Structures are given as C-alpha cells and as structure tokens.
Chain A
Amino acid sequence: MGKLTIGCFSSLVGSLSLDFAVKLSEAAVKKGHDVDLWVSSNATMLSKKGQKPFKDYSHLAKTLTELFASGKFKAVACEACAEARGYHKDDTMEGWGRRSMDWYLASAFSADRVLLIGGD
C-alpha cells in the first residue's frame, strides 16, 4: 500500500476542489492507502468545527470524521492561514492538526504521490 499526500488551497464553499480532495482521500483509504491532507489558504475553512449541512453547499465534516476514525488519514491545516482568517485552535474540528507549511513538505518527502488540488 502507498502513501498519498494531497494539498488543497480552495475554499469549502465556492469550489468543489475540496470535495474532490476529500472524496479522493476516501477512495484511497478504502483501498488501504495512507493519506495526508494538507489544507492551506482558503481551504483551512474545512478544519472549522460547527459546519452545518445545507443541501446547496458542500458538507464534508461527516466524511472527515469517518476518515479520521480509519486511522489511515491525517488532516492538517496551515496554522498561519487559519489564524489570518480568524479560525483559532478552539474553532478547530476534532481530529485536525495545525502546523506550519514545512509539515506539508515533510509529508511530501515520504509520499508515493503528491497531488496539489485546487491551487488557487
């Protein structure tokens, strides 16, 4: 089995790039692979707790909770990007890490594949 590192910068609402990144993570974990998901920039919104499901908007919190429970999935948000947007440690959903950008590069170091999804 391999390790996949995914970086995503797009916001939770306003683009489906994060949906794709999480769905890809889910598919990879189901196949037995390990996945590291790094969110930076507007994608740090994904780490915020208290997201409510509405039919018109993406809601990924439930999938993330299941992924964290698999033990094969790590998700980390860029701390500076989150703080700049007012998402503080207390606002962070359970399971998430908060690190600086070097964590992503360290994950890439040992990854079999690195995918940057939604680079803007």
Chain B
Amino acid sequence: MAITKLAFIVRSLPYKTEASRLALTHAIASQTVEIYLEDGDNVEPVLCYIGDGVLNCLKNQQAGKHYGITSLEQHAKNSLLLDLKVMICKEDVDKFGLKEDQLVMDAEDIGGETNAQLVPYSEIQKVMEEVDHLQFF
C-alpha cells in the first residue's frame, strides 16, 4: 500500500495554449487511477497555480460563449468538487492586482466542500520539495 504524490504546477496563461487545461484534466484524472493499481495504492495530486497561471482561476470566464468549449473556471471548480488540494500563489495574485473574491476559491454552487488556498510562494515551494514527482504546465 503506497501513495505517490504528484504536483501539477500551472504557470501558463489560460487559452493561449492547451497547457493549463491539460494540467487540470490530468490532475482530475487522478480520481480514476485506482483501476490500474493494486488495492490501497493511489496517487495524491496537488494543483498549484503560480505566475501567469493564477489567471486560470479567474471567475466569469466566457469560454463557452466565445469558443464553445468548457472554461478553465469550470475545470478549477471540478478539481475542488473532487477534493483536490489546490494552492494559488498570493504574491502572483497581488501582482495582477486581483482580489480573492475574483478567483475560484470554492465549488459550493456545484456541491463542493473543499476550498482553494491562497498561500505565499514559500508554501508552494515546500509542496514542490515534498512531492514524489513534479510537473510544470
């Protein structure tokens, strides 16, 4: 019985490339990974937004209206609905002049009970040092 910790570090802008979407969809895929593993084994994802990546957490994205695709906001909510650990870099949020109420911090409207954490970069750095595998998107 073992747990492998995987960090998904999102530093790409939303929509400019597919990278941040792939980070979220791969992290969310952790919910079904058990079908490939032995009983008791699992992966534990943590999703961290840093740099330009914090813009993926903005509320009121209009991807459906303009592109006909799911928004990164919806994926961010889904990650919270599925109880993924989500951390957003406070310094980078401040740099963009954003406030916490402009970001997806919970998924209460779809039944989620887990909140995202707005944290100093030092806490994200600590997570990056603790996990087994680190991936930047």
B33 contacts chain A at the CB level, 8 A cutoff: yes
Q: Which among A42, A106, A116, A119 is the interface contact of B33 at CB below 8 angstroms?
A: A106
Residues of A within 8 A of B133 (CB): 108, 111, 113-114
A105 contacts B18, C-beta separation under 8 Å: no
B30 contacts A102, C-beta separation under 8 Å: yes
- Once bound together, how far apart are the Cα atoms of A119 and B19, in whole Å? 6
Residues of B within 8 A of A120 (CB): 12, 17-19, 137
B96 contacts chain A at the CB level, 8 A cutoff: no
Q: For the side of the interface on B, what is the size category?
A: 20 to 34
Residues of A within 8 A of B135 (CB): 7, 114, 116, 119
A100 contacts B32, C-beta separation under 8 Å: yes
B136 contacts A108, C-beta separation under 8 Å: no
Residues of B within 8 A of A109 (CB): 2, 4, 33, 36-37, 41-43
A9-B22, A108-B6, A109-B41 in contact; A102/B136 too (CB < 8 A)?
no
Describe A's contact surface by its main secondary structure.
Answer: mixed
- Once bound together, how far apart are the Cα atoms of A120 and B53, in whole Å? 13
Which residues from 3 to 25 on chain B have a C-beta closer than 8 Å to any C-beta of chain A?
A: 4, 6, 12, 17-19, 22, 25
Residues of A within 8 A of B17 (CB): 120
Expressed in whole angstroms, the minimum distance between the Cβ of B10 and any Cβ of chain A is 10
Mask, B30-67, CB within 8 Å of A = 1, is 11110111000111010000000000000000000000
Q: A100-B32, A106-B33, A110-B4 are in contact. List 19 more A-B contacts (CB 8 A).
A: A9-B22, A40-B22, A40-B26, A41-B22, A101-B25, A101-B26, A102-B30, A102-B32, A102-B33, A105-B30, A106-B43, A108-B6, A109-B4, A109-B36, A109-B41, A109-B42, A119-B12, A119-B136, A120-B18
Contact surface of B with A, Cβ cutoff 8 Å: 2, 4, 6, 12, 17-19, 22, 25-26, 29-33, 35-37, 41-43, 45, 133, 135-137
